[in-house]
Amino acid sequence: MKNCPTKWLFLTIITFIVSLSLLIASCDSNGRVSEKLLTEQEKQAEIQQIIETINTYNQAANEKSWQKMVSTLADEIMFFGTDRGESAKNFNEFKNTMQKQWDDYEVLSYGALDTAEAFISIDDYARYANVIYGSYVVFGKKAAPDTFYTVTQRTLKKDIKDNKWLIESGILAVLR
């Protein structure tokens, strides 16, 4: 950890920006909060739905299921992967990135979100959430897959019409 101060600074800055966005998003056009606050029980239920969305996304990646993955994504998305080639600013770029990943790796396994290794922040009105978690990712050829510990960040927004959480953006960093 002492060799990675730049990565942790980067993640701290991202967390601050996302938290500020959550604060701004929870205000109406006049700058006032416009809905009823969640109870603690309601907040915990929303957090469980968020965890399920992220785990469904990870399962879809593992199963190489584009249809299942799309069901977890918002209409507009942006992702940053481990290098510039894994960045996507729209659905077409994201689909191409995922297809390349699925074509390149015989073994691909994203770990489930473990709440013991996670920070989950949700606004008091269940509109936006920020999740940062650590997990292992295994990928490569069947004969010699590699295992890496990753830090993943996801921003989710609530689709009020369908009453489900959708992933809007994400960052994946491999810690070395």
> Is residue 13's pLDDT more than 90?
no
β-bridge pairing 128-140 and 164-175: unpaired
Q: Is the pLDDT of residue 124 over 50?
A: yes
Residues 8-14 have a mean pLDDT of 63
User: In the structure encoding, which two tokens stand for residue 172, read together?
Assistant: 């994946």
Cα separation, 56 vs 89, in Å, equals 21
Spatial distance between the Cα atoms of 30 and 172, rounded to a whole number of angstroms: 35
Residues 144-151, mean pLDDT to the nearest whole number = 93
Does the pLDDT value for residue 30 go beyond 50?
Answer: no
Asked if pLDDT for residue 81 goes beyond 80, the answer is: yes
User: In terms of pLDDT, which residue wins out, 172 or 33?
Assistant: 172
Instruction: Kindly tell me if the per-residue pLDDT of 61 is higher than 60.
Output: yes
Q: What is the DSSP letter of 115?
A: G
The pLDDT, as a whole number, for residue 33 is: 44
CA atoms within 13 A of residue 9's CA, in its CB half-sphere: 5
Instruction: Please determine, for residue 3, whether its predicted confidence score (pLDDT) is greater than 60.
Output: no
Per residue in 87-114, pLDDT (tens digit) is 899 999 999 999 998 999 999 999 988 8
DSSP 3-state of 88 = strand
What's the confidence (pLDDT) of residue 84?
A: 79
Query: Does the structure show a pLDDT above 60 at 152?
Result: yes
Domains, the chain, in order of start with CATH, read 5-175 (3.10.450.50)
Residue 5: its pLDDT value, please?
A: 60
Measure the CA–CA gap between 169 and 72, rounded to whole angstroms.
11
Decide if pLDDT at 36 tops 90. Answer: no
Instruction: For the chain, list the strands marked E by DSSP.
Output: 73-80, 107-110, 118-122, 128-140, 146-159, 164-175
Rounded CA-CA distance 175/148 in Å is 7
Is residue 2 over pLDDT 60? no
